[in-house]
Amino acid sequence: MRKTLNALLLVTVAFAWGCDKKDTAPAEGEEAAPAAAALSEDEKTIYALGAMLGQRAVQPLRLSEAELEILQKGLAATAGGGEPEYSIEEYGPKFEAFMKARAAAGAAEEKERSQAFLSGAEGEEGAVKTESGLVYRTLEPGQGASPAATDVVKVHYHGTLTDGTVFDSSRDRGQPVEFPLNQVIPCWTEGVQKMKVGEKAKLVCPSDIAYGDEGRPGIPPGATLVFEVELIGIQGK
């Protein structure tokens, strides 16, 4: 319970920062306000903290604009030492159930939106759909060995959401990665075993074999993920 309260406190701080930055363009005939002074390094750090918490903690709750305003009111009520209108002791125990319900609703909507994309991926030339739901397609064939689940592999990859948003990419970082193949998401464990060294392949991963209904920072609950993977090598082979 204490961890939940601390997390929500940080969330409200992050949101309050964002609310103070709303557009305040002058109406016709009014003089424009002086440009805001450049932020100090500490202020930029605080801003980045707010952005991170907004992405990781607030976004999955899928709050409406009105609900975001209520969140800010709750912060304002107690930040200066005042008493909240609604008891934390009474409503605090409901935090976890509320967050789980919002995440589940978001995951269900995300899965429904992904169906058309998955159907399209299955229909691409050369694509194969496995029993797990993985859609696998070779982009460039390889000539080397294929890994086992217990092998350590070296790969380059580029990961996107179904709308093309990049959430992770070793390509963009310019640095391939190595990892045990049985210690990643099931989609990768299954899909990379189908590859040969030197091969490039496209893996379309439904949420059930990716990050499920929980999601990850930058990955919504229930999201279908798309990876372009190059198998560079297998340790010891």
Residues with a catalytic annotation lie at 157, 167-168, 185, 211, 227
Q: Which residue has the tokens 């999601």?
A: 215
At 10 the three-state DSSP class reads helix
- Spatial contact of 44 and 7, defined as CB atoms under 8 Å apart: no
Query: Which token pair is 209?
Result: 């074999």
Distance CA 19, CA 209 (A): 37
End-to-end CA distance of the chain: 49
Q: CA 71 to CA 12: how far, in whole Å? A: 7
CA dihedral 7, 163, 209, 147 (to 10 degrees): -120
Closest CA to 234 of 138, 144, 157: 144
**Pairing of the two strands 166-169 and 135-140:** unpaired
